[in-house]
A and B are shown apart, each in its own frame.
Chain A
Amino acid sequence: MAKTFRELMEEAKRLVPEWDVDRVRQELERGGDWLLLDVREKDEYREGHLPGAVSLPRGFLELRIEQVVPDKSKPIIAYCAGGTRSLLAAKQLREMGYENVVSMAGGFTAWKNKGFAWRQDRQFTPEQLTRYSRHFLLPEVGEEGQAKLLDAKVLLIGAGGLGSPTAFYLAAAGVGTIGIVDHDVVDLSNLQRQILHTNDRIGMPKVESARMTLQALNPDVKVIGYQERLSSENALRLFADYDVIVDGCDNFPTRYLVNDACVMLGKPNVHGSIFQFEGQAAVFYPKKGPCYRCLFPEPPPPGAAPSCAEAGVLGVLPGLIGCVQALETIKLILGVGRPLVGRMAYFDTLNMEVRIHKLRRDPKCPVCGEQPTITELIDYEEFCGLRTPGHAPAIQPAAAAR
């Protein structure tokens, strides 16, 4: 039998407990396991909401609630602007099997009028709402996650084969500040894989070419270029301003330098490295998993592990590994999923085998172990056997990501 609105509301009131805003605040302050569910439209939510509330507009409630709250015994406080939509939403949730749902009488309006705490999230421009619309649809990103990306600062070591795809995708994703360290200029031999750069920029500093490409893709992104070689003198200063460091360099002295500086500053190091048709990626996160030195305490003898310039590389390969680095970086910023900490993804693309190997910390690691012996940055050229102590470089070190 058809029901009137009044009958629907009466039915909802019989089924759903209604709490006033004082009771809701008391319960929240008591620290219960409540999920605050804001069922208003997105634009209402953006103008202000209860701290910690999850936005799920009434129109998408049935469609998405099981994704947002898989556990039907989870206690939920639903609210809207005045208490009507949330009452009907709570009734619907009860009918879907959610056992413990209450509606906040008086809604957000009553909450605000009482002077209780509320917050307003980042205000996105209309262009941003469209640009990041596919991110907003993902519960793991949403508007809160997008705000984290826009506030994030990521430093890329190298704007070469790995740095190119990483930078492209981080910029497209709206990572707000991308720093790039690379002292080199664009060379014709780079263009087979270093997709940030173009034919008409040969001879241009890579950091400048990268800035032009990334800002053309997404003007939200601030690109800061450091046209200098990463060294023991500048690494700690450069890293200090960034949340995540992405290692896309092409030589061992820089890899050990990036590792040690990240351990000393407690910053995650998103590692990628390649050889011909094979590549690996891992996240070296101080105190949470092994560092690069736990895996490779000593560098290989000079010449034992050739670079791309010496051994060649399929141009697509750094695209694959650099994208994994971009993805891991975004996961770290958002705090979602399971990062590649304590694991190494290894890609053998000729056989197309992808394997994840479990790695472990070395308690005797000289940098991140229980009794570290390396507590300040050292001479990494010397450590890697590229020159003898007290002498000028015997071998000109490879340019970062050349």
Chain B
Amino acid sequence: MQVHVKLHASLRKYLPAGALDDTVVLELPPGARVGDVVAALGIPTNHAKIAVVNGQQSDFDAVLQGGEQVSLFPPLAGG
């Protein structure tokens, strides 16, 4: 199954080369969870703090069905 993953702010450095619009399409096995997206992209687990799936905040252990839009956010420090 496929999910579309968008990385924000300081997480963008984990995008594969050539990713358009800060988005990557990931192929994941059935039953994959949001946390597996983080691992698949090589993002240290304590760097991605908020996961949003289809516009709603999600747990990292939530199971994906395929076709979702997943956004991952770090906290932002600046002001």
Question: What is the interface of chain A, defined by CB distance below 8 A to chain B?
Answer: 158, 160-163, 247-252, 255, 272-276, 278-280, 295-296, 298-301, 304-308, 311, 313, 318, 346, 348, 351, 355-360, 398, 401
Contacts and interface: CB of A to CB of B under 8 A. Distances in A.
29 contacts: A163-B79, A248-B79, A249-B79, A250-B77, A251-B77, A272-B79, A273-B76, A273-B79, A274-B78, A275-B10, A280-B73, A295-B50, A298-B46, A300-B46, A300-B47, A300-B75, A304-B10, A304-B46, A304-B47, A305-B47, A305-B77, A307-B77, A308-B79, A318-B79, A346-B8, A351-B21, A356-B55, A358-B55, A360-B57
Interface of B: 8-10, 21-22, 44, 46-47, 49-50, 52, 55-57, 71, 73-79
Main secondary structure on B side of the interface with A? loop
A248 B78 CA distance: 8
Nearest to A274: B78
A252 B78 CA distance: 9
B57 A273 contact: no
Contacts of A252: 75, 77
B16 to A, nearest CB: 18
Contact of B78 (A307, A346, A355): A307
Contacts, number: 101
**Which are the 4 A-B pairs with shortest beta-carbon distances?**
A273-B76, A250-B79, A308-B78, A275-B9
Given A250-B77, A300-B47, A305-B74, A359 B8 contact: no
Contacts of A250: 77-79
A123 to B, nearest CB: 38
B49 A296 contact: yes
Nearest to B49: A296
Contacts of A162: 79
Contacts of A318: 78-79
B77 A158 contact: no
A128 B46 CA distance: 51
B76 A351 contact: no
Given A304-B10, A357-B52, A357-B56, A299 B75 contact: yes
Contacts of B8: 278, 346, 348
Contacts of B49: 295-296, 300
Given A278-B76, A300-B75, A348-B22, 19 more contacts: A161-B79, A163-B79, A247-B79, A252-B75, A255-B77, A272-B79, A274-B76, A275-B76, A275-B77, A275-B78, A279-B76, A280-B76, A296-B50, A304-B10, A305-B10, A305-B47, A307-B78, A308-B79, A357-B56
B77 to A, nearest CB: 5
A295 to B, nearest CB: 6
B57 A296 contact: no
B26 to A, nearest CB: 20
Contacts of A356: 55
Contacts of A300: 46-47, 49, 74-75
Contacts of B79: 158, 160-163, 247-250, 272-274, 308, 318, 401
Contact of B10 (A306, A313, A348): A306
A272 B47 CA distance: 19
A14 B78 CA distance: 67
A272 to B, nearest CB: 7
B56 to A, nearest CB: 5
Contacts of A360: 57
A258 to B, nearest CB: 11
